[in-house]
Amino acid sequence: MFTVGQRVTLSISAIAFGGDGVARTDEGPVVFVPFTAIGDVIAADITEQRRNFYRAELREIIQAGAGRTEPRCPHFGVCGGCAYQHLDYETELAAKRQQFIDTITRLGHFADFPAPAPAVAAPQPYGYRNKMRLESIRKVSNRGQAFVSYGYCQRDNQSYLIIKECPLAQDCLNELIPKAVNSDWGRQNAKRPKPYPLTLRVTSSGESHFFYGRPPVNIPWLREQLAGEEFSVPLASFWQVNPPVAEELLRTVADWTKDSASRCLIDAYSGVGTFSIAMGSRFQYRVLIESDDQAIAAAARNHEVRQLKCRFQTGSTESQLPAVLAHINARETLLVLDPPRTGCQPKVMDTLRKFPVAEIVYVSCNPATLARDLRLLCQDGLYVPVKSAIFDMFPRTAHFESAVLLRHASAPQDAPTA
């Protein structure tokens, strides 16, 4: 057994979801070590001991594994944002694909699960983000003068790091940071007892915005392009940060469901309606559910301009979905779920077992909560996983997007391919 503070020699055999390398020990418990690569032989200091595992910090690379590269950002390893700048992008994507398979198998208790296809790489591992949120940081200069700057949370989740530019963000956002900080609005914000965070945003057409705290109500809706479609998007509402990868996600979901026999579409956690619109006009009845009242208003506009008849429900999915499914033919319904990182609330799972729909497309940015929810949905064979895919929406970070197609056990399955 190891003790906290002990220096040990370890061999890294895997990379866990979250980015830590995994070393297996003769004693049984594994050791998690950030910023390592498969095949690394390292010296590390044990920093934490738990019942079934240890955590350690890398001190020396004795022998480097495959796929290592030099990080681009000088703050890598201190900033809490990135996990994979020490790996080349091909190695990162392969690790994320394996993490998806391992997480679904282990936490979802699936013995046989469709392998992720496609596994979509990002066209740009850097410079892709169209949105940044920087926390306010009070500092004192060498001359004793107090000032406010902005940055990211460090790995300890307590301290903050001043950021002048972020290599994940589009160039125009990095160029906007000093302009925002030195603007009249920025100077006013700095005088507040507790300054607001700074948010910067750029549209697909290159129109940039910034705001402190909540955006002003008088800013017109943004005009965004995605997969050949134009969308109205309120400045504060959800929009994918990596549009090229988001387009592949929309195309994949549309392709999976193009031959669906379902007559009704429910788009839950709908945002401004991107999935509903990407899936076309073939549905006779559709319902969108969204808790953001500005987003649902924009969704109504986005459907109206396309002459798509739709019912819009403002509220949480757990509060709205039971009533929606109670008044339609659930067995002729395709449901899209795209919840936040925490996954679906238990009431949503209960509703989908009480009123089972024909098909579910579950889109997730957290494979752990996805696995938890899929386990509940597929319990007793009620739903069957048919397809899965991953989309690297967030290169260099520990996160990625995934999608799974489920069918009710009584629904016809895809014909086997030759």
Binding site: what residues are annotated?
240, 269, 290, 338
Using the Cα atoms of residue 210, residue 212, residue 218 and residue 221 in order, give the sign of their dihedral.
Answer: positive
Which entry of 166, 310, 365, 378 is annotated as an active-site residue?
365
Using the Cα atoms of residue 109, residue 33, residue 61 and residue 68 in order, give the sign of their dihedral.
Answer: positive
E strands along 25-145, which residues? 30-33, 41-49, 53-63, 116-120, 131-140
Q: Are 272 and 232 in contact (CB under 8 A)?
A: yes
3-class secondary-structure state, position 323: helix
CA-wise closest residue to 120 among 17, 19, 244, 228: 244
Residue 344: active-site member:
no
Degrees, nearest 5: CA angle 365-369-374:
105
Place of tokens 């086997």: 416
Parallel, antiparallel, or unpaired: how do β-strands 401-408 and 383-391 relate? antiparallel
Cα 169 from Cα 396, distance rounded (Å): 12
Q: Are 274 and 160 in contact (CB under 8 A)?
A: no
Length in residues, the chain: 418
Known binding-site residues for S-adenosyl-L-methionine equal: 240, 269, 290, 338
3-class secondary-structure state, position 123: coil
Cα 263 from Cα 185, distance rounded (Å): 50
Amino acid at 223: R
Q: Are 375 and 108 in contact (CB under 8 A)?
A: yes
| Active site residue ranges | 365
